[in-house]
């Protein structure tokens, strides 16, 4: 049983939550703790699954009508005279329409659009839908070019479907999102979360959920693990002790329990998981022992024993390594051809201001800790570094040449590094390489620093396009580098290269 003091605290939190429900219009009648608790008990937990199925059916209908409208626009309007005049019947294109709708639904499914926790996340659904439609249109166009369809499929029809169909899907999804976010249905869609233990991970999660008005999760509170001192936080309140778990699960209509303090309950993890299973509550564990490369956690079986470890990051796969290397070779060749005139002009200016070597070689650490010489156009005086002393360049560094400030702002001093990329020492995109003298200290002072050496260093990177370069917060830079390793894709590399160009252009 809960103590009177704890019961009063829980009661106060229910009143706060009830007021929030009333304020946001999730209930049609004035909210109180009783009506709020009753609404929770009456929640239809199967509703999210039914809504997912409904959205899939509606998406299919919208896609089919989008394809039919594209057919009408291409062949039933004056546009039929564009290109090779032809007048196919709708029945002739019925196969294309059916195949196109089926293929796009499969693509949307593979991009995670039809997940229950995505129902309230319009921005996520929009982004994933656009990605799916892009690859769907590219595949549709490629097939039409390679295969001989009968009747031949119109390229202009494919262009219309590639534009109109995504617009139709996003349009109706926006209306659905507006309705779901403002109606009482949101109560059924949000999963109510209880934390067991409280630490920085729980604080960060609770903060993210609280700041997202359309989050699929709602933090109800947390219960303290054994021996932990209670403290009220800004984002969650204390609902009791670990021994009160069962009663809290039942009275608070909890959907998910997240264990953040593994050490606090020690041998009770199995009992906690079993309790959640009996109460039909999802059980999750924050992997506190794996604070890096978490998306690479993988469970495999070795001689019949399940083993959890970090593996299978995107750039651990041979095919991804090959694709990235192919892009690096092509990109570095193009970069060198474009950079030669720039290097000649700025090299001449550098030599005129400070006679001596134009190119500057500096020892850096690459993938797997292998050292290499990075190339730069010299932007500082020849005597810029005191022997034995290594440090960061700073804003308005007095050691810089007059032309050095412009080169650094536009990253012109970095263009010789296309040669490092061509040699295979660097990549176009990746964590920026650091000097061995600095890393000797960083790997001991900064947690997980050397994990960034799982990939080749890059000319530009996710940290750099987010403003973290030079004399900036190293911990934030490491977080960006690790995020890049976990989320690598070809599209992300192109996005970073585009952002590098745009940011440098704006800076100029």
- 381 shares its domain with 468: yes
Q: Give the residue numbers spanning the domain of 272.
A: 190-289
Average pLDDT (301-315) is 63
State which of 165, 182, 199 marks the end of a domain.
Answer: 182
Half-sphere exposure of 267 (CA within 13 A, CB side): 0
> Is residue 340 located within the same domain as residue 360?
yes
Contacts of 256 (CB under 8 A, 6+ apart): 191, 192, 193, 194, 217, 281, 282, 283, 284
Q: Give yes or no for residue 310 having a pLDDT over 70.
A: no
Strands 359-365 and 305-310: unpaired
Q: Please check whether residues 379 and 482 belong to one and the same domain.
A: yes
Q: Are residues 285 and 223 located together in one domain of the fold?
A: yes
383 shares its domain with 489:
yes
What is the SS3 assignment for 154?
Answer: coil
How many CA atoms are closer than 13 Å to the CA of 115, on its beta-carbon side?
A: 13
Is residue 136 a part of any domain in this protein? yes
Of the three residues 182, 213, 245, the one that is the final residue of a domain is: 182
CA distances from 506 to 332, 409, 430, 471, 503 (A): 24, 10, 22, 21, 5
Are the C-beta atoms of residues 503 and 465 closer than 8 Å to each other?
A: yes
- Asked if residue 37 is part of any domain, the answer here is no
Question: Is the predicted pLDDT of residue 479 greater than 70, yes or no?
Answer: yes
Q: 470 falls in which pLDDT band (50, 70, 90)?
A: low
Q: What share of the chain is helix, strand, coil (3-state, %, to 5)?
A: 60, 10, 30
**How far is Cα 454 from Cα 484, in angstroms, rounded to an integer?**
11
Residue range 70-88, pLDDT digits in tens: 999 888 888 877 766 667 8
Which CATH number covers residue 266? 3.40.50.720
Q: Which of 289, 308, 340 is the last residue of a domain?
A: 289
Q: Decide if 22 is inside a domain.
A: no
Count: domains in the chain: 3
Asked if residue 35 is part of any domain, the answer here is no
Residue 160 shares a structural domain with residue 267: no
Residues 433 and 339 in one domain: yes
Please indicate, yes or no, whether residues 154 and 257 belong to a single structural domain of this protein: no
Any domain includes 484: yes
Is pLDDT of 65 > 90?
Answer: yes
Residues 164 and 209 placed together within one structural domain of the fold:
no
Co-location of 477 and 350 in the same domain: yes
Provide the pLDDT for residue 24.
34
Residues 415 and 498 both lie in one domain: yes
Tens digit of each residue's pLDDT (9 = 90 or more) over 384-407: 665 545 555 655 666 778 788 788
Q: Residue 4: inside a domain, yes or no?
A: no
Does residue 36 belong to any structural domain of this protein? Answer: no
Q: Could you tell me if 219 and 169 lie in one domain?
A: no
Tens of pLDDT, residue by residue over 13-61, are 344 434 433 333 333 333 344 455 455 555 656 677 788 888 899 999 9
Spatial neighbors of 132 by CB under 8 A, at least 6 apart, are: 104, 107, 108, 110, 111, 113
In a domain, 119, yes or no: yes
Measure the CA dihedral 425/429/435/438, to 10°. Answer: -140
């Amino acid at each position: 049983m809960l103590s009177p003091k704890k019961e009063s605290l829980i009661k106060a939190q229910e009143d706060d939550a009830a007021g929030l429900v009333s304020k946001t219009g999730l209930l049609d009648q004035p909210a109180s703790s009783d009506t709020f608790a009753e609404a929770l008990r009456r929640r239809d937990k199967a509703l999210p699954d039914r809504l997912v199925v409904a959205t899939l059916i509606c998406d299919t209908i919208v896609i089919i009508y989008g394809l039919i409208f594209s057919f009408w626009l291409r062949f039933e309007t004056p546009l039929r005279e564009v290109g090779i005049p032809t007048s196919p019947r709708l029945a002739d294109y019925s196969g294309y329409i059916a195949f196109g709708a089926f293929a796009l639904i499969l693509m949307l499914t593979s991009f995670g659009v039809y997940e229950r926790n995505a129902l309230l996340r319009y921005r996520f659904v929009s982004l994933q839908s656009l990605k799916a439609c892009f690859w769907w249109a590219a595949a549709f166009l490629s097939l039409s070019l390679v295969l001989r369809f009968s009747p031949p499929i119109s390229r202009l029809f494919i262009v219309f479907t590639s534009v109109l169909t995504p617009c139709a899907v996003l349009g109706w999804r926006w209306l659905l999102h507006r309705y779901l976010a403002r109606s009482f249905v949101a109560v059924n869609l949000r999963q109510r979360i209880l934390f067991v233990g409280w630490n920085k991970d729980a604080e960060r999660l609770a903060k993210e959920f609280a700041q997202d008005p359309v989050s699929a999760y709602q933090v109800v509170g947390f219960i303290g693990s054994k021996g932990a001192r209670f403290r009220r936080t800004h984002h969650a309140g204390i609902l009791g002790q670990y021994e009160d778990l069962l009663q809290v699960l039942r009275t608070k209509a909890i959907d998910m329990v997240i264990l953040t303090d593994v050490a606090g309950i020690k041998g009770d993890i199995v009992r906690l998981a079993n309790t959640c299973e009996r109460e039909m509550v999802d059980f999750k564990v924050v992997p506190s022992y794996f604070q890096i490369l978490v998306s690479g956690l993988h469970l495999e079986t070795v001689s019949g024993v399940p083993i959890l470890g970090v593996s299978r990051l995107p750039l651990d796969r041979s095919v991804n390594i090959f694709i990235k290397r192919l892009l690096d070779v092509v990109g570095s060749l193009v970069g060198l051809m474009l950079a030669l005139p720039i290097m000649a002009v700025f090299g001449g200016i550098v030599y005129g201001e400070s006679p001596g070597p134009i190119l500057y070689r500096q020892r850096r650490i690459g993938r797997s800790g292998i050292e290499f010489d990075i190339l730069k156009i010299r932007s500082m005086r020849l005597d810029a570094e005191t022997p034995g002393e290594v440090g960061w360049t700073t804003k308005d560094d007095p050691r810089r040449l007059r032309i050095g400030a412009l080169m650094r702002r536009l990253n012109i001093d970095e263009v010789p590094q296309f040669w490092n990329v061509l040699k295979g020492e660097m990549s176009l995109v990746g964590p920026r390489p650091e000097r061995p003298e600095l890393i000797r200290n960083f790997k001991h002072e900064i947690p997980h620093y050397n994990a960034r050496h799982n990939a080749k260093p890059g000319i530009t990177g996710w940290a750099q396009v987010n403003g973290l370069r030079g004399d900036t917060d190293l911990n934030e830079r490491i977080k960006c580098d690790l995020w890049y390793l976990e989320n690598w894709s070809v599209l992300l590399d192109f996005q970073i290269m585009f952002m590098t160009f745009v940011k440098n252009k704006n800076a100029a």
